[in-house]
Amino acid sequence: MVSTLERPSLVTQVESAIVMSSVIEAAAVVDHVSKVFIQRPLLRRGQSKEVRAVDDVSFTVGRNEIFGVLGANGSGKSTLIRMLSTLLIPDSGRVEVFGYDVRRDEAEVKRLINRVSVEASFFKKLSPGENLAYALRLYGRSGSAVRDETYAVLERLGIARDKVGEPLEQLSRGMQQKVAIARALLTSPVLLLLDEPTTGLDPRSKLDVQRFVRELREGHDATILLCTHDMAEAEALCDRVAILEKGRLAALDTVTGLKQRYGAEIGTDDPSLEEIFIHLTGRSLEDDVEGEHE
Amino acid sequence: MSQSLPPAVRTLPGAGIWWETRASLAFVERNLYLVRRYWHLELAFLIFNVASAMSVLYIGKAQMQAGGTSSEGRVDLVLYLGIGTVVWAYLRAVFSNVGEMVAWERWEGTIEYTMMAPISRLAHMLGVSLFSIIYGLARSALLLGVLALFFSVDLRNANLGGAAVILLVGSLSFLGFGIMAAVLPLLFPERGEEMTFVISSILLLVSGVYYPISVLPDWMEPLATISPATYVLEGMRAALLDGTPTMALGPSILPILILGALTVPLGIAVFGWGERYAKRTGRLKRSG
């Protein structure tokens, strides 16, 4: 018998969010958002340094959309993701997830989101099974049924049962990233925030992750915000792409729309996304910006 | 939530107390997994603790023999030091486990995932505190068991129930101190953990773990009055050495209760403030 005080199942949550989604078509709203970091030397002489990580950025991510954010290191992608994840408070502007304000309605937002970042971020000595058991308990999921589901998802991601009990540090980076994907999948987020999830993965693992991103959108009615360096990945997955440069929004459109808009300026009918990026930012995605706060 | 939305979609299902309590067990389960995976470190620390405690107790034994006191007095000094050693091992385990809850996760790289999970900070602290108490009790029991093999102690007159009450109440105030200390790695990503270590070292120095606080310099004694360990140790020694009845342990229990009533809510408030500060300044990152 389930207590009336007990949290409703994740299915109920997802259903609830779907009901919300049918009313609110915007899964995420970023409205004139800015974030400045001040790096002040502690107990040392010297001037403090101000880094404008996100500068008056606005966009809306539609429900069930895969929305790409392209930018070099230091362009503000991770800062944006961390604001949507409730890990960072914006200095100004409004950030909402399915109508919930990340500052005012933090608890509600947390129930709707999950994130996969460039680093797998697990307890390294613990096994995938132990790490996932911990993560899922935090989302109110435990028990033998959840354990079976965990095994099933890991197997679908190509992680055999005999690997589930091994310390995570003994798995390859690709495997670790798949466990991170499994963590996100098993918590059924309505908005999934992917921060360069395939960086450093081998081509096959990249394709596996991309397949699961599509499955998550189609099978779980999830909305996905994908920050990536990978132009081919953005082109293959994203319905729309935003290009960030030094914290500012340089462009926002579908890939086709961007090509139509900037093709003439670049001097070709069918420019690649990379050419458009270089045209807009003056540099390639591989260029790093030293010392910027991400 | 936007005012224009219909009321039916303004709220998601609430978490609830029972759900939060169950979710808080995630921290107990996770830390038990970690203890099992890091068993070699646990064993090394236990051996270090046992060796340190035995060294202290042998110093006491030698001191009594050199002083030529009666055998009763000799046992008392060994017991006096034994109580200090075991109780401090417990209190330090509680304080450190809670105090390092942020530092440990930052080191592992999981801090952002824990902080963005849909569990209240109160439930987070409840889970960490529960594990700290279980862990502290287990470590102290092991230490006590080993010491009992080497030193004969007479507990016939001891008030064990009163000692348990003191330890239980004392745990609360140490949890409060631990929660306050846990905020330091949020505020000072590079130095916070060292600060937590310094706090526990100062508590060890001023709380009369191995000696009465009357031997401390005058300027140091006021620090002893704000350390909950001072009253826990006084109470434990009164209960175990003198067999003081529980009702007569009031002078020790009352200050610990007051400190607990102050430090736990204060700790939670300070942690909340620290978390908001970290989120404003971008310090809530996976690594320093």
Domains contained in chain A, number: 1
Q: pLDDT tens-digit profile of B6-39?
A: 333 334 455 688 889 999 999 999 999 999 999 9
Q: Does the distance separating the beta carbons of B112 and A126 come in below 8 Å? A: no
**Shortest CA distance from B191: residue in chain A:** A42
Q: What is the pLDDT of residue A125?
A: 94
Question: Contact, B75 vs B154, CB < 8 A?
Answer: yes
Structural domain boundaries enclosing A169: 10-38+50-109+116-281
B81 against A22, higher pLDDT: B81
Q: Would A273 be classed as within a structural domain?
A: yes
Which residue of chain A comes nearest to B127, CA vs CA?
A138
A211 in any annotated domain:
yes
- Using CA atoms, how far residue A12 sits from A1, B12, B169, in Å, is 17, 10, 41
Binning pLDDT at 50, 70 and 90, where does residue B2 land?
Answer: very low
Q: What is the pLDDT of residue A157?
A: 82
Q: Is residue A218 part of a domain?
A: yes
Low-confidence ranges of chain A (pLDDT < 50): 1-14, 16, 18-23, 289-294
- Rounded to an integer, the average pLDDT of B247-262 is 93
| Confidence (pLDDT) at B5 | 36
Chain A residues 148-167 with a CB less than 8 Å from chain B: 167
Q: Do B17 and A5 touch (CB under 8 A)?
A: yes
Residue of A nearest to B287 (CA): A121
A30 falls within a domain: yes
Q: Does the CB of A122 have a partner CB in chain B at under 8 Å?
A: yes
User: What is the domain-level CATH number for residue A141?
Assistant: 3.40.50.300
From A194's Cα to the closest Cα of chain B, the distance in A is 13
Is A58 domain-assigned? yes
Distance (Å) from the C-alpha of residue B18 to the closest C-alpha of chain A? 6
A5 interfacial to chain B (CB closer than 8 Å): yes
Does a structural domain hold residue A232?
yes
> What residues of chain A lie within 8 A of the CB of B29, using their CB?
133-134, 137
ipTM: 0.85
Of B6, B13, B286, the CB nearest to A121: B286
Q: Is residue A95 part of a domain?
A: yes
Partner residue opposite B26 with nearest CB, options A19, A104, A137: A137
In a domain, A254, yes or no: yes
Confidence check: pLDDT of B70 > 80:
no
Contact state of A96 with B22 under an 8 Å Cβ cutoff? no
Chain A residues closer than 8 Å to B21 by CB:
none
pLDDT of residue A206: 85
Closest CB to A138: pick one of B9, B26, B38.
Answer: B26
Average pLDDT value for chain B? 88
* A105–B1 C-beta distance less than 8 A: yes
Which pLDDT score, from 0 to 100, does residue B139 have?
A: 94
Q: Confirm or reject contact between A36 and chain B (CB < 8 A).
A: no
Give me the total of CB pairs closer than 8 Å, taking one residue from chain A and one from chain B: 144
Subunit contact A139:B117, Cβ cutoff 8 A: yes
- The distance of B117 to chain A (nearest Cα, Å) reads 6
Reply yes or no on whether the pLDDT at B72 is more than 80.
no
